[in-house]
Amino acid sequence: MPGHANLVIVANRLPVDQVREPDGSTSWRRSPGGLVSALEPVMRIHDGAWIGWPGVTSEQAGDLQPFQLDGLSLVPIGLSADEVEGFYEGFSNATLWPLYHDVVAKPEFHREWWESYVAVNRRFAERAAELAAPGATVWVHDYQLQLVPAMVRELRPDLKIGFFLHIPFPPTELFGQLPWRRQILEGLLGADLVGFQLSGGAHNFVRLVKQRVGHHTEGNDVHLPDGRVVRAQAFPISIDVAAFEELAGSESVEQRATEIRAALGNPRKVLLGIDRLDYTKGIYPRLRAYSELVADGHFDVHDSVFIQVATPSRERVEQYRLLRDDVDRLVGRINGDLGEIGYPAISYLHSSYPQHEMAALYRVADIMVVTPYRDGMNLVAKEYVACRLDDDGALVLSEFTGAAAEFRQAWQVNPYDIDGMKAAILAAANATEDELTRRMTAMRRNLRGNDVNHWAASFLAAL
């Protein structure tokens, strides 16, 4: 029996995680990552239902029923401890994540993980099929759920099905390593529209479908034997620009920014990095580049500081543990070698903060340093630009992010090239006010014209 929702969002995570307080009660906290930041405002406008995982195992969460929170209609999907290990930590984050990010870390291929991925994708698909009203739109998100489109179509051929991949779609040679490459492609082909951050991803996908599945393709269209046409297209994602501007301009954020500057000793230059603690983000080479600039005398710890916020992420996955140890050690060494009493070279925070605190940090930062080895878009770069209400501040941005395609006026860098990064950070630090304004004005203009509502509206219109 069909349900009542006219728009069903299907994403691995709900926008909130369940947390257990010390007294045993439970509450909800905003989930990490760019996907949630982007989709939340979209949900508010479209009044849909959001299916996702509450971030803890079913054993811990107990029986969770659909609920309303802050005007959002949320439908939790349970994952057992085994599924968290096989589907989430395993196949999603130790196979697909590194594979899709240019094998920055080595992907692992395990058959039990794949089986768990299939089983969990089926659970999401069945729930979506139950909730959707006749002829409704189901919008599936990201690499954790690539089989869902075909599974939903099989259950409910009456629905419009869209899929959007928030991370890069890899070159055909890398995707070809995947033992289940054909199943994944067929899963995605269940959608009417498959969206990517960049047109390169859409091209890779169409080429692979032709190569590996053998369907006829024409430009961005795939023609299936039953006459259905699937379109692949780029929709660069964005943020809620107006909401960030309002937050950044609020008195309380301004006050907090002044407090932060004072706590740092009112330095001349503040550099900032904000990332999930992930090996794709290029945190390590960025801190090395800065530390060498300090060692070379270009920055002085008495009047400059690099704030690095690293949000805890996927902490049970081996590669993330190794990364945390590496970064801990590097920060310790840099501060040990270059810091002075009361003046660390790097102020390192392994913690997650509410948006209000982030906005204050963006206001404080003279130079925002965003240096992923590979990133689908990178919304932190967009948030920084949105918060620079006075058209000042400098963005140093990896050319391997999706955002680099839009922010041509950033100081673009190759994160593998430490000397190049040092030169760019230095150029940004020494730029004249006019130059900063010229660059930031252009980036802000671009961002305003492409906010997240525009992104969602274009996707849904194309669908």
- Considering only CA atoms, give the Rg of the chain: 22
Least separation, in Å, of the C-beta of 167 and ligand G6P?
5
H or E segment to which residue 148 belongs: helix 148-155
Residue from 123, 153, 166, 363 touching ligand G6P (CB under 6 A): that is 166
Residue from 43, 167, 334, 358 touching ligand G6P (CB under 6 A): that is 167
Least separation, in Å, of the C-beta of 38 and ligand G6P?
9
State yes or no: residue 142 binds ligand G6P (CB under 6 A): yes
Which of these, 302, 295, 288, 283, lies nearest to 344 by C-alpha position? 302
The residue whose Cβ lies closest to ligand G6P is: 33
- Give the largest Cα separation in the chain, rounded: 71
Q: How far apart are CA 201 and CA 147, in angstroms?
A: 18
Least separation, in Å, of the C-beta of 93 and ligand G6P?
6
Size of the chain, expressed as the number of residues it contains: 463
Other C-beta atoms lying within 10 Å of the C-beta of residue 24: 6
Q: Which amino acid is at 83?
A: E
Residue number, 35 or 209, with CB nearest to ligand G6P: 35
Site string for ligand G6P, 299-318 (x = CB under 6 A): --------------xx----
Torsion of CA 39, 45, 50, 54, to 10 degrees: 60
Residue from 7, 8, 13, 338 touching ligand G6P (CB under 6 A): that is 13
By CB under 6 A, which span of 30-38, 169-177, 401-409, 422-430 interacts with ligand G6P? 30-38
Q: At 457, list the tokens.
A: 């509206």
Size of the site for ligand G6P (CB under 6 A): 11
Pairing of strands 367-370, 193-196: unpaired
State yes or no: residue 35 binds ligand G6P (CB under 6 A): yes
State yes or no: residue 121 binds ligand G6P (CB under 6 A): no
Alpha carbon 295 to its chain's center: 33
Q: How far apart are CA 116 and CA 87, in angstroms?
A: 5
Least separation, in Å, of the C-beta of 81 and ligand G6P?
16
Least separation, in Å, of the C-beta of 386 and ligand G6P?
18
H or E segment to which residue 394 belongs: strand 394-398
By CB under 6 A, which span of 33-41, 390-398, 406-414, 429-437 interacts with ligand G6P? 33-41
Sign, CA dihedral 177-183-185-188, equals: negative
Least separation, in Å, of the C-beta of 88 and ligand G6P?
7
Residue number, 12 or 371, with CB nearest to ligand G6P: 12
Least separation, in Å, of the C-beta of 307 and ligand G6P?
21
Start-end of H helices in 209-301: 241-249, 251-263, 283-295
State yes or no: residue 54 binds ligand G6P (CB under 6 A): no
The residue ranges that bind ligand G6P (CB under 6 A) are 12-13, 32-35, 142, 166-167, 313-314
